[in-house]
Amino acid sequence: MARAARPGRWLWMLVAAAILSQGSLNLARLLISYKALALGGDAVAIGFISAAFAILPAVVAISLGRLSDRTAWLRPLIATGLLTLTVSCLLLSGSASLLLVAVGSAGLGLGHLAFAIAAQSMIAKRSDPDSMDAGFGWFTAGFALGQMVGPLLAGVLLSNPGATTVAGRIEDIDQALLLAGLLALIAVPLILVRIGSRGTAGTALKGVATLDVKDSVGMILGRPGVKSNMLASLALLTTMDILIAFLPLIAEQQGVPPLVVGLLLALRAAATILSRMLLTVLLRRWSRNQLVLASLFGAALGLVVLPYVLENIWIAAASQILVGFFLGLGQPLTMALISRAVREESRGAALAIRLLGNRIGQIVLPAAAGLAAAPLGPSGAIWMTCFVLGAAGAVKGIGDRRLPPPV
């Protein structure tokens, strides 16, 4: 089998596409919450619309992962994901009912999944073991930068003082959704150019692509550390989903304007970028498993106070910086830990199972958060998320004690 290429120009193309795709996705998802509110939705409706984001991905995740293991040509799958994001944003812009908003949300989830699986598989296949942490770190830093840009754009675009009516607010939201679709579309040419280390995307992967030896889902899940890291990944990703879905609702209840919401979410993403840039430095002092535990417990501690301090922008900003820094550590580390725990030929499938677990969490937990918000108010969704983070940390801590010592 050909030796995997070290990260190079192909990785920076992926990072650039990740920034644009996540800018598009996070702009659209924040706008979804405001559009649902403008269409008469409540906390329960927003919870189920957020859960719709994960429905289609939950159905096709493993199939897409197997496909990414079998093929050396991952660019078409990445581009398809970006085009699906574009079409979904157009649908959301033209939607006039909560049902169509939910359908558009589901389309966003499918596009994001196709992009994420193919891009993560490319990193896992092309990176050698020593460069894999850095590859995932830079890629997820690109995600975080997009997560910073999207809410900032949403806050600015929804700050029109002339939009005093529901119709005016919806018009602003729909125009912003068109911009979200354009961001995803701009990323397509970055992926379709030749990004292989020798002018082709298939050269470095040729040996991997011809292998068709499959580990079953049960075998992959049975590898030491896979399940606990999947649970950690699920908790961390769902935390970001619930935050972006329910923070606008808490803000509306407390009279906090959309621009402040966008700034707070952007600060959270900026702190995430910082933690991912520092990842290789932190790994010199602490192990991957220790940093994942810190990610889970640190994010929970920073998030639990947010509903009480949202009206004080400085304290709320400090909370979001703390939350963002710790949330940023977990995702690239769980990708690397799961990739290293399975055979090389099953890395795409393992990452797909990880994403499937994320999507199941994104179906169940936002819907549960919406139901929790019904009696407790929207702050209940945040507190439920803190409980999930703490529980995932406890499970991982127990599981890590049973792992064989590192060699």
pLDDT in tens, 318-332: 999 999 999 989 888
pLDDT digits (tens, 9 = 90+) for 291-318: 999 999 999 999 999 989 988 999 999 9
What gap in Å lies between CA 224 and CA 404, rounded to an integer?
Answer: 8
Q: What is the 3-state secondary structure (H, E, C) of 226-255?
A: HHHHHHHHHHHHHHHHHHHHHHHHHHHHHC
Tokens encoding 54: 């994960």
pLDDT of residue 113: 87
pLDDT of residue 373: 79
Band of the pLDDT at 402, cuts 50, 70, 90? low
What gap in Å lies between CA 35 and CA 372, rounded to an integer?
Answer: 21
Using CB atoms within 10 Å of the CB of residue 6, give its burial: 0 to 12 exposed, 13 to 18 middle, 19+ buried.
middle
pLDDT of residue 61: 75
What gap in Å lies between CA 316 and CA 304, rounded to an integer?
Answer: 11
Contacts of 22 (CB under 8 A, 6+ apart): 142, 143, 144, 145, 146, 147, 149, 150
Domains in the chain, start-ordered, CATH in brackets? 9-401 (1.20.1250.20)
> Which range among 104-113, 245-254, 395-404 has the greatest average pLDDT?
104-113
Nearest to 33 by CA among 254, 260, 234, 261: 261
Nearest to 151 by CA among 319, 320, 388: 320
Alpha helices in 39-131 (DSSP H): 43-52, 55-70, 75-94, 98-126
Q: DSSP for 292-342? A: HHHHHHHHHHHHTTHHHHTTSHHHHHHHHHHHHHHHHHHHHHHHHHHHHHS
Band of the pLDDT at 83, cuts 50, 70, 90? very high
The helix or strand, by DSSP H or E, that contains position 277, with its residue range, turns out to be helix 258-277
Band of the pLDDT at 209, cuts 50, 70, 90? very low
Is the pTM above the cut of 0.75?
A: no
Q: How many CB atoms lie within 10 A of CB 202?
A: 14
b vs e for 324-349, b when ≥16 Cβ sit within 10 Å of the residue's Cβ? bbbbbbbbbbbbbbbbbbbebbbbbb
Contacts of 377 (CB under 8 A, 6+ apart): 43, 253
Range with the lowest mean pLDDT among 28-37, 212-221, 338-347, 350-359?
212-221
Amino acid identity of residue 92, one-letter, is L
What gap in Å lies between CA 242 and CA 225, rounded to an integer?
Answer: 26
- Over residues 194-205, the mean pLDDT reads 41
Q: How many CB atoms lie within 10 A of CB 253?
A: 14
CA-based angle 178:42:382, to the nearest 5? 95
Contacts of 217 (CB under 8 A, 6+ apart): 62, 349, 353
Amino acid identity of residue 359, one-letter, is R
Mean pLDDT over all residues of the chain? 82
φ, ψ of residue 46 in degrees (nearest 5): -65, -35
- Cα 26 → chain centroid: 9
